[in-house]
Amino acid sequence: MRYTLIGISLLLGFVFLSGCMHQVPVLSQQSEQSTHIEGVAEKPVEFVKLGTGVWMHTGYKVVPPWGNIRTNGLIIERGDYSVLVDTAWNDAQTAEIVAWAKDTLQKPIRASIHTHAHSDKMGGMDALHMLGVETFATDLTNRLAIERGLMPAKNVLNISEIGSQIEWEGLTILYPGGGHSEDNIVVNEGVNNILFGGCMIRPGMTTSLGNIDDANLGYWSKAVENAANAFPDSQIVIPSHGKPAGREILKNTAYIARPKLD
């Protein structure tokens, strides 16, 4: 298995340096199809400890012309097992994540939740199902997954109204409204005050919204504000495509996503 374990000390650097993040590439659905740049190898899966019982997994995909593009998810320990937030880009990477949780963490992944229907969140669903993981997503995410050629989750989360919350495996799941995608949800881990914003939250101080093919541009900013207001104590914020940071990336995303007036 290829993977890299990054120490917790580096996380602090991630948080404090988040304001210095450079412009991140815009991933369109078309760009996600191409995965080869001559001389550029795909980075191995990485694992970072964020807090007590919480790990971030990061998979990479080579996307021309930018090179390795990361996607983040979480592994949360629950007694003698763990739960997963989002797959990596593909089945192979996701199988590595499941193996790491079982062999290194010694807390096999029993269930997973998926924050929206794009390949960086659901690209490894086949692997999860083959490995016996119970998968969960909203009804809207499952319907969109099928439309987009992705494998849907086996179980449905009963959450559909804007602002509605449910508890799942000790985590709080919020549907803040459409943003990066109409179905995006966020996940809050209250013990360590970690908010997983997924693709709805843009990394660093970028001025780019990234892939807006399926975005709700009229509500994105409000959706971010809804998430920020729902979890005022969460001080570590995890975007899908950048390093962990503080609440400043909530404010920045809400700002750059605000509706443009004609």
Known binding residues: 116, 118, 120, 180, 199, 202, 211, 241
Q: Give the annotated binding-site residues for succinate.
A: 202, 211
CA 26 to CA 34: how far, in whole Å?
Answer: 14
Annotated binding site for Zn(2+): 116, 118, 120, 180, 199, 241
For residues 203 and 242, the answer to whether their CB atoms sit within 8 Å is yes
| Residue 170, both tokens | 């000790």
Per DSSP, the residues of the chain read --EEEE-HHHHHHHHHHGGGPPPPPP--TTGGG----TT-PPPPEEEEEEETTEEEEEEEEEETTTEEEEEEEEEEEETTEEEEES--SSHHHHHHHHHHHHHTS---EEEEE--SSSHHHHTTHHHHHHTT-EEEEEHHHHHHHHHTT-PPPSEEE---STT-EEEETTEEEE----SSSTT--EEEETTTTEEEEETTSPPTT-------TT--TTTHHHHHHHHHHH-TT--EEEESSS--B-THHHHHHHHHTSPPP-
- Contact call for residues 249 and 202 (beta carbons, < 8 A): yes
The candidate with the shortest Cα–Cα distance to 99, out of 120, 88, 116, 117, is: 88
